Amino acid sequence: MTHPMNSAAAICGLGITAMGRVYRDADDLAAEAVYLAIEDAGLKKSDIDGLLINAGVGNAVSIPLHISLGLQELNVLTFMQGYGSSAGQMIQYAAMAVANGLANYIVCVFADAPLLEGQRTGAAYAGGGRRNAMGSLYPLYGFAGALPMYALAAQRHMDLYGTTQEHFAEIAIGQRKWAAMNPAATKREPLDLAGYNASPWVVEPFHVLDCCLVSNGGVAVIVTSAERARDMKQPPVYVRGFAQAHGHDAGMSNQDAAIHTPAARSAPRALTMADAKLSDVTQCQIYDCYTYTVIVTLEDYGFCKKGEGGQFIADGKLSPGGALPTNTGGGELSSYYMWGMTPVAEAVIQGRGQGGARQAKNDLILVSGNGGVLNYHATLVLSPEAA
Amino acid sequence: MTKSPSWLPAPDDSNLPFFEGAKEGRLRLQRCNDCSAWMFPVRVRCQSCGSTNVKWADASGRGTVYTHARLQREYHPRHSGRLPLVMVQVDLEEGVRVNTNLIDCDPEKVKAGMSVQVAIEHSPSGEAVVVFRPA
């Protein structure tokens, strides 16, 4: 029996602002993304009756966005936070709301502006660490932000399974090939192994090029019922299935949190809702805050056995022309970093068949969102075809 | 001669026992008086049983390397001349995982599973800094 949420909702609008060193307020970038999405969908502002908001590291977008936007008759409005899993989460809650008649057109928006004029990129995400007891020693130890934690996780994968620096390089290089075909990508110049190796170390085993970009910008998508989406300006991208999984505690030694992530609990349930198998997936949009995140997520999604992710991707199957096109816009490593909206936005473009030179087979698109240090996870299964 | 600026934020009521312990060469963590679970970082309520009857206690200071990485960029005075600085997550015998540094080791020879023990390093202004070294 088909799950009642399989293809009950669809994405009908997408708005993406300029990305990168755009020195504007996050609230204004959010507003622009919303207007772009409304125009893209062929709707009027007065059609919008739902707004879900997620802010990034700058935490500068919140409920008053509806006032900036002049949206005064909303039936759904809330601020949501699940870090990198937020975008996927917003679409899930929006899908359930439109399917149950709470609202007709719900905008899900993310915007952030952590880059400040005259400030280094690295400063934007360097905060963090609980400033108590041993936490107050973190700056002395070198623990700043999420980067070292992901580097530590990647090193454990190397120690346990023989994953190599070249495997991480393959992710960075392969995604750059996709970015070269994406006019909206920030980094489009060709990258080879020598270029990757020449990239400075930050926290070894991560070079700068193992890390996502830092971007100012905004992305909005509009979720509506499948019925409404059918006759709109844009081809509908149906939400076929979804799930979430959360709850790791990195402070307890009874969990192998660097290796086994909540993604493993999320994807099977999302595919079950979609009435699909992993082998039905024709492309992936995988949250890629770091190169390692792609490898561990593909393993946890079941594309290969635990520990074999490095070998799995080594033949270039994620790159243009490969068997499993992944992060076809260049991903967070090479296009832009809008948390979970980076994979979501590319999935919408691909689902509509609007990928141009980088268009990949889009029958079934698996989308991941990952937050914290591999702590919080959301999965979407999207398709141009309803169930 | 002026005293070197402090490397550390001043301790507060929530963490003073940790820093007092470090001065005596001991690793102190919080432990639940009701269910005996250890915890990290500082908490007011036990994650296991919910009790607020939480006290500071001496930990064994023994553990194994869960994973490791090498800091290659300086951004704190302590990093100066010490790169690559070995960052580790240590699984303590008490069941908690702590983020710290491993000293007195060859960075290329550190491996997951290696036995380590607590060590104390002193800042230029004399503050005790808890780190680990190979056991």
| Helices A86-99 and A341-352, packing angle to 10 deg | 60
What is the side-by-side strand order in the sheet with B28-32? B38-39, B28-32, B54-58
Residues of B whose CB is below 8 A from A209: none
Task: Give the domain extent around B74.
Answer: 16-134
Do the Cβ atoms of A254 and A130 come closer than 8 Å?
A: no
**pLDDT, tens digit, 9 for 90 and up, residues A76-117:** 999 999 999 999 999 999 999 999 999 999 999 999 999 998
**pLDDT, tens digit, 9 for 90 and up, residues A325-369:** 999 999 999 999 999 999 999 999 999 999 999 999 999 999 999
Peptide bond into B9 cis (omega under 30): no
Beta strands in chain B (DSSP E): 28-32, 38-39, 54-58, 62-71, 85-92, 97-101, 115-122, 128-134
pLDDT of A387 reads 94
pLDDT at A204 over 50: yes
CB contact under 8 A, A252 and B96: yes
Q: Give residue A119's pLDDT band: very low, low, confident or very high (50, 70, 90).
A: confident
Pick from A204-208, A242-246, A247-251, B90-94: least confident: A247-251
Residues of A whose CB is below 8 A from B111: 159
Cα(B42)–Cα(B30) distance, integer angstroms: 7
**pLDDT, tens digit, 9 for 90 and up, residues B2-57:** 455 667 777 888 889 999 999 999 999 999 999 999 988 788 899 889 999 999 99
Q: Give residue A383's pLDDT band: very low, low, confident or very high (50, 70, 90).
A: very high
pLDDT of A130 reads 42
pLDDT of A30 reads 97
**pLDDT, tens digit, 9 for 90 and up, residues A17-70:** 999 999 999 999 999 999 999 999 999 999 999 999 999 988 899 999 999 999
Q: Count of CB contacts below 8 A, A vs B?
A: 125
Q: Give residue B82's pLDDT band: very low, low, confident or very high (50, 70, 90).
A: very high
Residue B2 covered by a domain: no
pLDDT at A131 over 80: no
Cα(A340)–Cα(A289) distance, integer angstroms: 10
Residue B1 covered by a domain: no
Residue A183, exposed/middle/buried by CB under 10 A (0-12, 13-18, 19+)?
exposed
| Chain B residues 36-95 within an 8 A CB cutoff of chain A | 39-42, 47, 66-73, 75-76, 78-79, 84-85, 87-89, 91-92, 95
Residue B12 in contact with partner chain A when CB distance is under 8 A:
yes
Cα(A179)–Cα(B13) distance, integer angstroms: 51
Residue A203 in contact with partner chain B when CB distance is under 8 A:
yes
pLDDT at A254 over 90: no
ipTM: 0.94
pLDDT of B3 reads 52
Active site residue A196: no
The mean pLDDT of chain A is 95
pLDDT at B71 over 70: yes
Domain count, chain B: 1
Quote the percentage of chain B above a pLDDT of 70: 96
Domains in chain A, please, with CATH? 9-115+213-383 (3.40.47.10)
pLDDT of B5 reads 60
pLDDT of B4 reads 55
**pLDDT, tens digit, 9 for 90 and up, residues A149-197:** 999 999 999 999 999 999 999 999 999 999 999 999 999 999 999 999 9
Tell me which of A125, A152, A259, A373 to substitute to probe the interface with B (most B C-beta atoms closer than 10 Å): A152
pLDDT at A298 over 80: yes
Q: Give residue B1's pLDDT band: very low, low, confident or very high (50, 70, 90).
A: very low
Residue B89 covered by a domain: yes
